[in-house]
Amino acid sequence: MPQPPFILFSDLDGTLLDTFTYQPDGAEAALACLREVGVPLVFCSSKTFEEIVFYQKQLGIHAPFIVENGGAVFVPDGYFHFEIGLEKRRAEFWVKEFGAASAFIRQKLAGAAADLELDVRGFSDLSVSQLAALTGLDEAAAGRAARKDYSETLAAPSDPKSLARLERYLVSPGLALTSGSRFFTVHGANADKGRAAEWLMELFRQVHENPLIAAVGDATNDIPLLRQADKAFLVQKTDGSWVDAGGLPVELAPAPGPKGFDWVVRHLLRNV
């Protein structure tokens, strides 16, 4: 595997993909440049296995990826040309799991709804048509989004006071609540994008000598990922602001979504 100029870990929703259309319009040239120079593009997203496989096929990407806010890492069979010590497989991928099972998460959310007397609904509680209407996805894409293995994305509640009560409740069963580009997601407290990315980055370091690893995101759930990278970037939110990086040194892309992703790729190609 030739040494690439850098390795890029990227969020999807609100970063490579537009927040509302879920399309990479505006990033096509950047994606072509990455393919041309042989940069591995590693998706690190709240999206499910089925969603990420769909986008990899659509964009012609062959690389490991991280699903559901760090719930698991999927490595294509033979990608690293050495044994990576995993036993679990799904389709043509080896799987490293970090997160709690979605069935356990849904059980605890049902308990929260009863104990806190809150309207607590996840994507799995909605019909495909309801989920499509909520997200703006077509029904096929909504079905892929609903089939979660390591998390549950909330359709409700959405008000800050109820979310704060729910977050406190989830501490005891070992769960956490994280903000993404548009929705809040419940996942295992010991699983985040940073922990999963750290494990995967070590595999890349076994192949390449001192590789430069960059990461880009747009939301609070991306900060643990950015913390693991040598170079970290934030693209704008749709309102023109940037999420608070909590003192982490990051470079700010002066555009949201795919246009911000394009800026990051061009900046890296010029400066590494």
Angle at 242 between CA 239 and CA 243, to 5 degrees: 115
Say how far apart CA 1 and CA 245 lie, in whole Å. 34
Strand partners, 214: 8, 231
Give the H or E element holding residue 271: helix 257-271
269: which residues sit within 8 A by CB, 6+ positions away?
5, 33, 37
Select from 136, 16, 132, 4 the least CA-distant residue to 65: 16
Phi, psi of 250 (to 5 degrees): -135, 155
Active site residues: 11
